[in-house]
Amino acid sequence: MSQNPDIIVVGGGVIGLACAWKLAQQSYKVTLLERSECGSESSSASLGVLAPSAAKQQQPSNILHGQSLGMFTSFISELEAASGLSVPLYRRGSLRLLAQETSYQNALTELESAKHLPAERAQNYELELLTPKQLLQVEPALQDPGYGALLNRAVSVVEVPVLIEALIRACKSAGVDIRTGTTVSGLTLERSSLTVTLLHQENICAKQALICAGVWTMQLHPLLARYCALEPVRGQALEIASPEWSPRHIIKSKRAYLVPAGKGRILLGSTTEFNPGFNSHNTFHGLQEIWGRTSAVVPRIASYRVTRYWAGLRPAALDRKLFLGEVPETENLFVASGHYKTGFGFMPITAKIIAQLMTDGETEYKLDGLLPRVAKAWVKGKNGRGCSS
């Protein structure tokens, strides 16, 4: 094993793995360091849903996310060829339930906004407004059709464990040196090189480093704490066995999420818990909350058997916009973190942008407001939406 790679990637979630793979394709010697097992933290906790943000949202992060979703199918095809694995990608479509008149009016606005999107974003929106009667025709197990639903046929679900394994195999095939069970205790930065210190005092030198360490990013260096301020947000989810019934679509209400996962499985999620510290364990209250909310939407699931449950810590930037690019006051330290609930959707474009920045020093994509920065705090408003302050 080489002790002097060109690039060190810290963090083996889907973002770190995808970036390491793309960097290795540029003929760099890449070492990836993961504190546990690859994909074992927030990545494995994901439900794998690939859904766009609201069409009316035009921030740079929304535009990038839409572009990335449009790249996903080709990314998976390349990954399958590199890994030798078939990665299941199910085009389920999503139903956003409209429980109130205001929800219905918002859906009308969404339909109108989607008509005016550029082609690269428009491909992520195949929208149709369903009446209550039409909704019950496609999903008869729903308790209350309310004001109907907004259907988006373009939403897909990826099989998370298979995707993670495919990324690991693709990295190894490209020559990435993956070291699991390896905790980084600090970074020492110099003008033309850097040193990564491991918990057991081993040092690894490299020309550049990429930090994809999720909620642990801030702990690695004072500059990361300053310019990449993150907080952990816990999410809990569970899986049920449903041999005789499964929803045809992803079903989302204000308080519940049901994802048909194939093979007689339904994923139920998920909580959004602030201030959990670094506790990624399930709680009775959290699981009970999911169970109560989802069974209120589809009562029949109350009789189904829970087959597994899990939790993870989502890395959320204080202003809820990801960190992507070179860290200020450095010449060789880059970061890709803070993807919060959209890591899988952002994965293809994040890997492409990082490979461009670390190879050429520039990228074709606009990163306005997404570069590492001193982030303002995000405040939840009375309507449940967030704003910076």
Residues with Cβ < 8 Å from 77, sequence gap 6 or more? Answer: none
Give the pLDDT of residue 191: 82
Q: How far is CA 9 from the centre of its chain?
A: 18
CA Rg, the chain, in Å? 21
Distance of CA 231 to CAs 137, 154, 223, 275, 372, Å? Answer: 42, 31, 16, 8, 15
**Closest to 244 in 3D by CA, of 300, 325, 202:** 300
3-state secondary structure of 92: coil
Ranges of beta strands (E only) in 98-229 are 127-130, 149-152, 156-158, 177-179, 184-189, 194-198, 203-206, 208-211
Q: In terms of CATH architecture, what is 1-90+157-229+318-389? A: 3-Layer(bba) Sandwich (3.50)
**Closest to 212 in 3D by CA, of 26, 29, 35, 6:** 35
pLDDT in tens for each of the 389 residues of the chain?
A: 446 899 999 999 999 999 999 999 999 999 999 999 999 999 999 999 999 999 999 899 999 999 999 999 999 999 999 999 999 999 999 999 999 999 999 999 999 999 999 988 999 999 999 999 999 999 999 999 999 999 999 999 999 999 999 999 999 999 999 999 999 999 999 988 999 999 888 999 999 999 999 999 999 999 999 999 999 999 999 999 988 899 999 999 988 999 999 889 999 999 999 999 999 999 999 999 999 999 999 999 999 999 999 999 999 999 999 999 999 999 999 999 999 999 999 999 999 999 999 999 999 999 999 999 998 765 554 333 332 22
**Rounded to whole angstroms, how far apart are CA atoms 125 and 96?**
13
pTM above 0.75, yes or no: yes
Query: What residue type is 177 in one-letter code?
Result: D
Residues with Cβ < 8 Å from 86, sequence gap 6 or more? Answer: 80, 162
Paired residues of 250 in beta bridges? 94
Pairing of strands 94-97, 7-10: unpaired
Give the pLDDT of residue 389: 25
**Rounded to whole angstroms, how far apart are CA atoms 4 and 357?**
21
Q: Where are the domains of the chain?
A: 1-90+157-229+318-389
Give the pLDDT of residue 388: 29
Cα distance between the two ends of the chain: 47
Give the pLDDT of residue 384: 39
Any idea what DSSP says for residue 350?
H
Give the pLDDT of residue 254: 87
Give the pLDDT of residue 144: 94
**Rounded to whole angstroms, how far apart are CA atoms 310 and 294?**
16
Residues with Cβ < 8 Å from 162, sequence gap 6 or more? Answer: 85, 86, 87, 88
Paired residues of 265 in beta bridges? 241, 262
**Closest to 14 in 3D by CA, of 167, 178, 162:** 167
Give the pLDDT of residue 382: 39
Give the pLDDT of residue 217: 97
**Closest to 230 in 3D by CA, of 216, 220, 244, 242:** 216
Q: Pull the structure tokens for residue 182.
A: 């390896």
Give the pLDDT of residue 1: 44
* Four-point Cα dihedral 371, 372, 376, 381, nearest 10: 60
